[in-house]
Amino acid sequence: MNKLFSIGFWSAVARFILRNRIFLLLVIAAITVALAMQWKNMRFSNTEANLLPDNHPVNLEYQTFLDEFGEEGNLIILGVKDPTLFTPEKFNAWTQLAKDLNKYDEVDFTISIGDLKQLEKRKDTTAFKLVPVIQDSVLTQKTLDTFQYVLFHKLPFYEGLVYSPNKKTVRTGIYLNKNIVNTSARKEFVLDDLIPLINKFEKETGVNVHSSGMPYIRTLNAQNIIDEIGIFVAAALFITSLLFFFFFRSYRATLISMFTVIIGVMWAFGILGLLHYEITVLTAIIPPLIIVIGIPNCIFLINKYQQEIKLHGNQAKSLQRVIAKVGNATLMTNLTTASGFATFILTNSKLLKEFGVVASINILTIFILSLLIIPIAYSFMPMPKNKHLKHLNRRWINTFVDWTVHTVKFHRVSIYITAVIVLCVSIIGIFNIKISGSIIEDMPQKTEFFSDIKFFEEEFEGIMPLEIYIDTKRKKGVMSLATLKRMDKIQDYIKEVPELSKPLSVVELVKFSKQAYYNNNPEYYQLPNSQERTFLLSYAKSSSETTSFLKNYVDSTGQYARITTFMKDTKTDRFDRIEEDLKAELSKVFPSERYNVILTGKALVFQKGTKYLVNNLILSLSLAILLIALFMAWMFRSFKMILVSLIPNLLPLIITAGLMGFLGVPIKPSTILVFSIAFGISVDDTIHFLAKYRQELIANHWKIRKSVYAALRETGVSMFYTSIVLFFGFSVFAISSFGGTVALGILVSITLLFAMLSNLLLLPSLLLSFERSIANKKTFKKPALKILSDTNLEEFEEDENN
């Protein structure tokens, strides 16, 4: 009864599709138009990807800091390492550049060498005033030489802020309005205003300007993502269409398949807009991913259609059988692939959840589109000619299939020995894998802005903000001499860490005030003693200029303070050591009963986010394996069949992990995705093979060997075709300028190639070796999912006709 229901259901689906061709095409067209209208809702991410959930302790601490001091990543820096800058013409141009930038509403203020000021005692009252370091209205070379000496030797306050510790590089700091940092206004300012002004300065002076800072990096990085989406889609279409034509030698088949996946891509963009999801580095790869995953659907459907035409030459019967037979197995393969992506939804990362939702929905939509468009398109066309069927008898593909059959038949022991050796070697490689939390590692390394990041790391010892948030637990507690001394001790500790830049806090301002009180003698750039503290702070508090600087590092109540340093791109294990040592030092210097101290900042949040993501993705991979194992259990109702089907798909993942260890490819957000994606796709071949194997078992009256070899011969061609398409399709991502996307493409390609060999050699070998214990009628005769055999279908068709 269940068998008849399954046959009847898929035959009914086939009849419905073929009898309502025009109506279904109109429905597809209407949905396509409706989703195309949602494209306007697509938007590119203006915020950084937060890999941690909102309620994670690290995120909560970071939010506490932001609530008190506002967005930290609002600084853009322009650096110049050119001694000729200190000549009147170029110096004036550099100063004018800062003044021009200061006029923009998007800019709060700038700090540049041309408008530097120093504190000076007022004579009329107990206060400081800020006076220009350069007071001459007309600049001469002598004036600039004097200024350069004063800046580098008598104004230590500006070290690390305006000039580099080695005194060879100067920079201009552009502090953006914090309200626009995470909006499209930031992108417009950087691309339309800032970069043209920099280019104009470089052209007029011949001075090379290095640009960096988080707003700048984020803008150019996002622009690269946008630029690559179109390239990926075009490259994926070109590669897959070329391979498709090479395999089938049919313009008709190629055009129908390309039309199907293009509609799929249009739907993918529409679904992104419909859900109001932002386009991130992950969601940007979904459109080409749909092309790469959609083409195998087309291959299985068209290949089966041509096999049926060759078998009996009846077009209507062939189209019905394609839908009834291949549609059933293809549904399962797409469900397993979608499941692999859907496991990302179970993570607590918003970035991964959105990627999982959109990817899994679009994988199922491309299946529906393939099942509808291909049979309907062929129903309007004449039957394939003999030349279109020649690929079914192509000598080289038959040679490959014969080799797999021969190897499985006569060299099973060799297959097992090879598999065990490769497994052992791979496990050794896995122990060499490291985790990377580098923010810039996956950025486009051939771009100018990446070179500028390395420039500022070398000259200013880092660009990633690391913040220390200090709560003194009482009003005006920050300005107590005891607190200032504790902060200074921590700053001295930070200066000794090679990966961290010179820190900046209210301590520097207090030291600057003491220097100013003693007639700007640099020897007095130090904290005041207890006698000096009272009158120095009264000077500082009564100065409006210093108060405006003070508010960036101390809150209005004087209870909270921050120490800001910048970090180089640092390996995860080294970062962990720095964090551990710094927290230990903070605990020692700031007793917990008097202070509440938090180590936070973008550098820390990203590192913690990477670790959290890796742990979650390991969980998602485990869930994907469990979910697909449940699918197998539902299909075959046999624990041993679950093991037989999973082993050939887990081995390629282990091999890839081993290669990553040997090649030094670290585990990071981009590479950990490889395993869930590859597993979800590679298990498709297993399902196709086992589906055909069961059909052959029934047709051959449970003759196991004959069934295995027959299934291998029929599915081997399609498995080879789809694996090659997937291999080259994912290889398209290797043209990306993003290291993570390149690694993702290459590693998935390699994994799927190993998976093909594993499913063609290891899977049938396991079936033959354990034939007596797994291949019995209980296992295959009444599975929950009915996989249609030719005999079943012919009997049903005869009953229907009668």
3-state class of 518 per DSSP?
Answer: coil
**Integer Cα distance of 162 and 257 in angstroms:** 59
| Cβ density class 724-758: b for 16+ within 10 Å, e for less | bbbbbbbbbbeebbbbbbbbbbbbbbbbbbbbbbb
Contact 709, 696 (CB under 8 A): no
Distance between start and end Cα atoms, the chain: 19
Residue, of 562 and 6, whose pLDDT is higher: 562
3-state class of 447 per DSSP?
Answer: coil
- Positive or negative torsion for Cα 682, 684, 688, 691: positive
pLDDT of residue 25: 92
**Integer Cα distance of 398 and 67 in angstroms:** 67
Q: What's the rounded mean pLDDT across residues 435-461?
A: 80
3-state class of 23 per DSSP?
Answer: helix
Instruction: Return the half-sphere exposure (C-beta side, CA atoms, 13 A cut-off) of residue 392.
Output: 19
Q: Which residues contact 347 (CB under 8 A, 6 or more apart)?
A: 353, 356, 613, 616, 617, 619, 620
Residue, of 460 and 670, whose pLDDT is higher: 460
Beta bridge partners of 563: 468
Q: What's the rounded mean pLDDT across residues 116-143?
A: 77
Write the DSSP symbol of residue 595: -
Q: How far, CA to CA in Å, does 106 sit from each of 120, 145, 212?
A: 31, 34, 17
| Residue 298, both tokens | 């087309």
**Integer Cα distance of 319 and 328 in angstroms:** 14
Q: Which of 466, 482, 481 is nearest to 590 (CA)?
A: 482
Model confidence over 534-563: pLDDT tens digits?
A: 666 665 554 444 445 567 788 888 899 999
Listing DSSP states for 109-139 in one string gives EEE-GGG-EEEEE-SSSS-EEEEES---SS-
Contact 316, 329 (CB under 8 A): no
The identity of residue 345, as a single letter, is I
Listing DSSP states for 449-517 in one string gives HHHHHHHHHHHHS--EEEEEEEE-SSTT-TTSHHHHHHHHHHHHHHHT-TTBPPPBSHHHHHHHHHHHH
Tell me: pLDDT of 191 over 70.
yes
pLDDT of residue 322: 81
- Positive or negative torsion for Cα 657, 662, 667, 668: negative
**Integer Cα distance of 174 and 109 in angstroms:** 6
How would you write 623-681 as a 3-class SS string?
Answer: HHHHHHHHHHHHHHCCHHHHHHHHHHHHHHHHHHHHHHHHHCCCECHHHHHHHHHHHHH
Q: Calculate the average pLDDT of the chain.
A: 81
**Integer Cα distance of 313 and 416 in angstroms:** 42
| Residue 708, both tokens | 């295995």
Contact 209, 198 (CB under 8 A): yes
Q: Which residues contact 73 (CB under 8 A, 6 or more apart)?
A: 48, 181, 213, 214, 215, 218, 465, 602
Q: Which residues contact 38 (CB under 8 A, 6 or more apart)?
A: 269, 270, 271, 273, 274
User: What's the chain's Rg over C-alpha atoms?
Assistant: 33
Residue % of the chain over a pLDDT of 90: 17
pLDDT of residue 389: 59
The identity of residue 636, as a single letter, is F
Q: What's the rounded mean pLDDT across residues 247-275?
A: 87
Q: How far, CA to CA in Å, does 392 sit from each of 721, 727, 791?
A: 12, 21, 23
pLDDT of residue 549: 57
- Which backbone phi and psi does 713 adopt, to 5 degrees? -65, -40
- Give the least confident one: 56-65, 575-584, 738-747: 738-747
**Confidence bin at 45 (pLDDT 50/70/90):** low
Tell me: pLDDT of 673 over 70.
yes
Model confidence over 152-185: pLDDT tens digits?
A: 888 888 888 888 888 889 999 898 888 888 788 8
Q: Which of 213, 212, 209 is nearest to 82 (CA)?
A: 209
Angle at 353 between CA 368 and CA 188, to 5 degrees: 100
For the ranges 66-70, 128-132, 311-315, 503-507, the maximum mean pLDDT occurs at 503-507
Tell me: pLDDT of 281 over 90.
no
Burial zone of 3 (CB within 10 Å; 0-12 exposed, 13-18 middle, 19+ buried): middle
**Confidence bin at 287 (pLDDT 50/70/90):** confident
Q: What's the rounded mean pLDDT across residues 577-597?
A: 92
Tell me: pLDDT of 40 over 60.
yes
Tell me: pLDDT of 1 over 60.
no
Tell me: pLDDT of 5 over 50.
no
The percent helix, strand, coil of the chain (3-state, each to 5) is 70, 10, 20
Consecutive H or E run containing 79: strand 75-80
Tell me: pLDDT of 802 over 70.
no
Model confidence over 712-754: pLDDT tens digits?
A: 887 887 788 778 888 888 888 888 877 777 888 888 888 888 8
